[in-house]
Amino acid sequence: MVAQTRHAGQPSPKKKLEFREKLVGKGLSTDALLKKMKTLHTQLAALDQDHVDVQSLSTARKELIHSSILLHKDRGVKAYAACCLADILRLYAPDAPYTQNELRDIFQFFFRQLSNGLKGAESTYYNEYFHLLESLSTVKSVVLVCDLPAADELMTEIFREFFSLVRRDITKKVELFMADILVALIDEAQSMPSEVMDIILAQFTDKNARIDQPAYRLAVQICNSTADKLQRNVCQYFSDIISSHSSEDNNNNTEDYDDIRTAHDLIKALHRSCPGVLHSVIPLLDEELRADDLSVRTMATQVLGEMFAMDKAGGDLVKKYPTTWNVWISRKSDKAVSIRVKLVESCRNLIVSRPEVRESLKEMLTEKVFDPDEKVRAAVCKVYSQLDYESALHHVGKKQLLDIAGRGLDKKHAVRVEALNAVGKLYSLAYPEIENGDPAALEHFGWIPEEVLRITSTSPEVRSVVEQVLADYILPLPSSGGSKGPEVDEVAWTDRLLCVMRYLSEKSIKALLGLSGIKATRPNIYQVFIDTCVQYNGGIMDEGEELITRRLNATIQHLAVGFPDPHKSQDDLHAFAKLNENRLFKLAKTCMDPQTDIKNLAKVTVRLFILPSPLSPSLLPKIQPILTIFAPTQAEFQKRLDQTSSTLLPTLNIFLRRASLRIINQSSIPSLLKRVSRGYGSTAKHLIETANLAQTVLSFVSKHCAALYKPHVAELVKVVMAGDAGKGNVNEQMVEIGLQALAGVVKVDGAGVAATDKRMNERIEKFAMHSNWRLAKFATRYLTFGKNKKEVCTRLAKAIAEEFEETEDADAEGVAARVAALAQLSRFYPDAFESHSDVFMTFLLKKLSQVTIPRLQDTMEDGEEWFEDDVPELLRAKVQALKACRSRCLAHASSDKAVEIATPVMKLCATLLEHSGSLNAEIEEDPKFMSRLRLEAAVSMLHLATVEKFATVLTPKFLRLAVVIQDSCYNVRYLYLTKLLTLLQPRKIPPQFNIIPFLTVHDPEGDIKTLASTYVESAKKRLPPALRAEHLEIIFIRLLHLLAHHPDFSTAHDDLLDIVKYLQFYLDLIATQDNVSLLHHLALKAKTVRDAESHSENFYITAELAQELIKKKAQEKSWTIQTYPGKVRLPPDILRPLPSSEAGKEILKTTYLPEETRRWLDELGKAALPKEKKERKAPVKRKAPATKASGQSKRRRKKARSREDDEDESAGEESNEEEAEENEDSEMDVDEKPPTSEDVEETPRPRGTRTSARNKTKTKAKNRRSPPQTDPDDEDE
């Protein structure tokens, strides 16, 4: 047993190689050799390394490396020889039985065989090559290469061969064997040849480098397996590149930066797949962030931003290198703009993928949205525009988005575009959720249209961006699927409009409707332009050339004012006219035609994504806007666009976007009517809100573009016929809409479109006598334009007259409806009114107007001056009575008795203004009634002033009419200014009314002052020089006169500072280098005449103030005040010549300004006037407010009345004394005729003017969000 045990413990006997044949010798055939090699290989492969007698291998070992074997011409011999040699190395391991030179030859032989023979599983001797590769991989005999003298060269060759070999169609296992071999070489090598690093890293710079590429996979596997070993080499690789750049002189060329840029791209690729090798490289990037070289710093900022944003590797990078992260984020304060931009641009992906750094990103972006440089601000806005809905909802705060929306008012156009596009895109993404009423979406994004529309009227530049955002994202046109695609969804398109409006303020709704193109009187300026282009015929005209050219120039000038770049727009529009492309003109008319439905509009505006080949693709961004507008066929546009300049396309884009009805279309009408109908009788809040909004849109269409209803007359008739005028079950909301729409249609298109059904006309006639004043109003209007209007209107007037004769109480039920009907008759069919005018005027002036409404105790306590909701019927009747009287006066404006007819009405209005809305100064009436009545009286006087003979009579009342703009009630001021501007814009009233907007400087509300200043700025741009001088500059003398008679005027220093603000407001808006001489001339001329009303010194005080302020303004702006070369005629209605030259000299020598005010002006020096003066008691001044106004409606401008100025004969004045001396012997430039008592009437101080605007308006400003909605009484104005 013991012997057996000893025997069992002895090692196994060594096996010997049985092969004894010769491999080298003469006369040995290839086949015989191949057979022997195969036998040898089989026997060697079967031997185990631990149980082999290596002495038995010596013969084979020596013969296998004989040159006749290694250089044999047969592939098979060499393949088996390679396998045998691999087995020899395996069996001898760890010691190689060859010299270093022999080993070098063997390994070169190995890899040459693999390179030539390993071509695929189907290739000859594939199994032998596979065996060789597997042996090298498992035995790791390849590490012997590292000990050879030329190891670096051989190692480089191996890597080159393997990366070339791996690109073939090889199996995954072969790829793994290769990776093991190369990894073994790297692990065993004492140093890495730079060529090897180049070969490995080259796999990451290949443009096709992706995980499905074998060479890329092999390189990734090698780097990940040897990361610790390669870190130093990779770091050295990049250090060499960076140091070679920094060692150059400062004049580094582009190629140097290209090397660094390539290195950074390589770092990104390594970071994406094998970040472990970059452990020592990240500090290099950290140092680059601090480098002085701007380009290097910029590239480092960009590459680190991209690396931080990578999925998993980015998160690990932030955690492992917090210092690098902090240095990177600190680049937000870098002095270089490009670096701050790169930093911001990297944030988009970080917001989405890096939750751990969102707070620091939020802080940084919030700060950078107010960066001093526009490029950074634009980049921040663009980051938000690139976010998807979920990321914006969950990872971006509402305040951040509000800050971005606020950049819509940025001074730089590029920032405005990016900011508004960003919020617009986010709203478009969120709209499906907003439509479904998702609370999170509403809270986060529902406010965007409000913020966008709020800034519409800021400037033409801002407006154009707002229009583009509305068209692209908020209210886009429905897509057309073409002949095979889905139909345009008109209902969804209309519902989107209502959904957007549902979350808008009243002011923003007005702005949106103003942008719809509905409000423009047709033919509007865009249609006039296209028609004129057709007549212009490219500049070739047979007749009327001068007239057509002048009309084209005037139209283009008028249009260009509203464009972002007026000068470029003029050039572009002229170029478009010269193209003379009749097909484009026809398409433009199609877009502008109110009868074009949304389907056809969408087809015309379909986008062309594939351009004809001759057109350069680089032009796509420039021509896309015009392709968006016109797209009947690609070939047609190819032909026309080849003839155009791409520079005019943005201008045409704005033109056609404004000219076409993209927001409200005739296709909207059926859906809007259905939404109103659904709201009737419903208790659902959203249905009621939607119905009211739909009614708002329909009323707006009825008022401004009733032609949209023309295809839907039959449907409107059904709406009206659905209600019974004699019973109480009528849906008054629907009937009102139907009547208003039908009245608008027959007013625009005449009685030809009126319903011919007898029952229908009888029904409308009943509605004219309805107790609902709006039904009566629109029904009467329809009758005044319908068929048989003479008979029907006469019958209606007779019925109302009989009712008035029988009515003793002017406050009876239904009076408001009857008076509303009378107002329509007096306006649109005055003959019917005149048939019973005695009865009507007696009732209106002597009964209805004399009814007083005493002030109640509760109104004394609340201090309110306006009915926000339901207006009492008596007040409604009184307001309509003023309208009826006003319309009657205007109807008789051309008759000889016009003044006689209008005198009682003008006296009534003047009395209402004098007593602040009451006819009896001794009775204290309800202030809510009084505010409405004085507003309507003021508006009536404005309308009467459109007639020259009435304007002359109203001249003595101008001061009282002007100071209505400083009324104690905000609603009165705002609505009065709105009405005033609608008459000033088309120049319907005399130029002196342009003084009134300048009285808004003290208004406690911002929107009124902004509305006034917006009008003035617009008028400055639109008016030609002659009209601009007449309407805005010559009136300066009238402003001085009005201020001298202002109720707040006094010679106290503090009160004069208020007058200074009026003058400064005027100068800030009007004064320029071109007209400062004229304004100074007018201020000087003021002391050469006397005040026609009071002969007081107040006028001279305001004139001296104006002189000094003009000098200060010129000094501040570095203007030179030249002697005015022209001659100006001073207004004779307010100024009179001085009685003698001695009086003139005395006035010129006298200084009327108080000493304290003169000192204040002297101290003013070059400094700008202060925004606020010292605090004074609030209750003693009439001041009126200023706020951002919604855009004014564009109306057609009528031809101005000619007002020729008589030329003054004095010229070359240098001072007050010189001018006076020159005028002493010359004829005075005012009429010598003294005023009669009838011509001039001293205006008494209006009641309550010293406490109104400053006191009461400020109190109410806190509770008021937006300007008042237009009074329904005034919707036809």
d(CA 354, CA 329): 14
**Two tokens at 1052?**
């106290």
- Residues 70-124: tens digit of each pLDDT: 888 888 888 888 899 888 888 888 888 888 888 888 888 888 888 887 777 777 8
Distance of CA 18 to the CA centre of its chain: 91
Residues 13-34, mean pLDDT to the nearest whole number: 80
Candidates 451, 446, 558, 469; CA nearest to 507 is: 451
Highest average pLDDT, of 4-18, 23-37, 954-968, 1258-1272, comes from 954-968
Q: How would you write 771-839 as a 3-class SS string?
A: CCHHHHHHHHHHHHHCCCHHHHHHHHHHHHHHHHHHCCCCCCCCHHHHHHHHHHHHHHCHHHHHCCHHH
d(CA 725, CA 759): 12
pLDDT, residue 828, reads 92
Phi and psi (nearest 5°) for 1005? -100, 140
Candidates 345, 416, 315; CA nearest to 374 is: 416
- SS3 state at 870: coil
The angle, 0 to 180 degrees and rounded to 10, between the axes of the packed helices 1098-1117 and 1036-1044 is 130
Task: Measure the CA dihedral 127/133/138/139, to 10°.
Answer: 110
d(CA 595, CA 667): 9
Is the Cβ–Cβ distance between 225 and 183 less than 8 Å?
Answer: yes
Residues 508-517, mean pLDDT to the nearest whole number: 91
pLDDT, residue 9, reads 47
pLDDT at 910 over 90: yes
Candidates 811, 903, 822, 888; CA nearest to 850 is: 811
pLDDT, residue 52, reads 82
Q: What is the DSSP string of 102-131?
A: HHHHHHHHHHHHHHHH-S-TTSTTHHHHHH
Tell me the Ramachandran region of residue 1212: left when phi exceeds 0, alpha when psi lies from -120 to 50, beta otherwise: left
pLDDT at 1130 over 50: yes
- Residues 711-736: tens digit of each pLDDT: 888 888 888 887 654 455 568 888 99
d(CA 141, CA 150): 17
Which segment of 34-43, 429-438, 895-904, 1202-1211 scores lowest on mean pLDDT?
Answer: 1202-1211
- Residues 1216-1245: tens digit of each pLDDT: 333 333 333 333 333 333 333 333 333 343
Pairing state between β 1089-1091 and 1135-1137: antiparallel
Q: What is the DSSP string of 543-571?
A: S-HHHHHHHHHHHHHHHHTTSSSHHHHHH
Residues 1021-1042, mean pLDDT to the nearest whole number: 92
Higher pLDDT, 118 or 738: 738
pLDDT at 643 over 80: no
Residue that the structure tokens 């030539």 belong to: 116
The angle, 0 to 180 degrees and rounded to 10, between the axes of the packed helices 374-385 and 413-435 is 20
Instruction: Name the percent of the chain lying above pLDDT 70.
Output: 83
**Two tokens at 547?**
């007239």
pLDDT, residue 562, reads 85
Residue that the structure tokens 């209402």 belong to: 912
Q: How confident is the model at residue 170 (pLDDT cuts 50, 70, 90)?
A: confident
Neighbours of 683 (CB within 10 A): 6
Distance of CA 31 to the CA centre of its chain: 86
pLDDT at 1010 over 50: yes
Whether the link from the prior residue into 523 is cis, omega within 30° of 0, is yes
Length of the chain: 1277
Task: Measure the CA dihedral 940/941/944/947, to 10°.
Answer: -150
Residues 227-239, mean pLDDT to the nearest whole number: 88
Q: How many CA atoms lie within 13 A of 973 on its CB side?
A: 37
d(CA 714, CA 717): 5
The angle, 0 to 180 degrees and rounded to 10, between the axes of the packed helices 337-345 and 294-308 is 10
Residues 665-677, mean pLDDT to the nearest whole number: 91
d(CA 581, CA 570): 18
Candidates 1082, 1169, 1080, 1087; CA nearest to 1119 is: 1080
Which segment of 29-43, 520-534, 1102-1116, 1255-1269 scores lowest on mean pLDDT?
Answer: 1255-1269
pLDDT, residue 799, reads 92
pLDDT, residue 863, reads 65
d(CA 792, CA 787): 9
Residue that the structure tokens 């001039």 belong to: 1240
d(CA 113, CA 75): 9
- Residues 272-289: tens digit of each pLDDT: 888 888 888 888 888 888
Q: How confident is the model at residue 1252 (pLDDT cuts 50, 70, 90)?
A: very low
Candidates 1127, 1129, 1144; CA nearest to 1231 is: 1129
Q: What is the mean pLDDT of the chain?
A: 81
**Two tokens at 283?**
């500090």
Is the Cβ–Cβ distance between 409 and 358 less than 8 Å?
Answer: no
**Cross-strand pairs, 1186:** 1006
Instruction: Name the percent of the chain lying above pLDDT 90.
Output: 34
Residues 1082-1110, mean pLDDT to the nearest whole number: 90
pLDDT, residue 1270, reads 54
Whether the link from the prior residue into 94 is cis, omega within 30° of 0, is yes
The angle, 0 to 180 degrees and rounded to 10, between the axes of the packed helices 254-273 and 214-225 is 80
pLDDT at 523 over 50: yes
Is the Cβ–Cβ distance between 679 and 691 less than 8 Å?
Answer: yes
**What is the pTM (predicted TM-score) of this model?**
0.79
The DSSP symbol for 19 reads -
Residue that the structure tokens 């003698």 belong to: 1140
Residues 117-135, mean pLDDT to the nearest whole number: 82
Candidates 1240, 1258, 1236; CA nearest to 959 is: 1240
Burial class (CB in 10 A: 0-12, 13-18, 19+), 159: buried
Is the Cβ–Cβ distance between 631 and 637 less than 8 Å?
Answer: yes
Task: Give, in order, the Cα–Cα distances in Å from 618 to each of 613, 614, 615, 959.
Answer: 12, 12, 9, 62
pLDDT at 854 over 80: no
> Which amino acid is it at 916?
S
**Two tokens at 419?**
């900011």
Count Cβ neighbours within 10 Å for each residue of 99-137 and write b for 16 or more, e otherwise: eeeebbebbbbbbebbbebbeeeeeebbebbbbbbebbb
Please report, in angstroms and rounded to a whole number, the separation of the first and last CA atoms in the chain: 130
Task: Give, in order, the Cα–Cα distances in Å from 100 to each of 95, 107, 444, 1047.
Answer: 12, 11, 75, 115
Higher pLDDT, 611 or 822: 822
**Two tokens at 1172?**
């606020």
**Cross-strand pairs, 1137:** 1089
Which segment of 260-264, 284-288, 747-751 scores lowest on mean pLDDT?
Answer: 747-751
pLDDT at 920 over 70: yes
Candidates 354, 352, 345, 336; CA nearest to 381 is: 345
Is the Cβ–Cβ distance between 434 and 499 less than 8 Å?
Answer: yes
Q: How confident is the model at residue 1199 (pLDDT cuts 50, 70, 90)?
A: very low
Q: What is the DSSP string of 750-767?
A: -GGGS---HHHHHHHHHH
- SS3 state at 1133: coil
**Two tokens at 1024?**
């030609």
Q: Which residues contact 806 (CB under 8 A, 6 or more apart)?
A: none
Q: How confident is the model at residue 14 (pLDDT cuts 50, 70, 90)?
A: confident
Neighbours of 1111 (CB within 10 A): 16
Task: Measure the CA dihedral 1101/1107/1112/1113, to 10°.
Answer: 120
Q: How confident is the model at residue 255 (pLDDT cuts 50, 70, 90)?
A: low
- Residues 524-533: tens digit of each pLDDT: 889 999 999 9
- Residues 778-814: tens digit of each pLDDT: 999 999 988 888 899 999 999 999 988 887 777 677 8
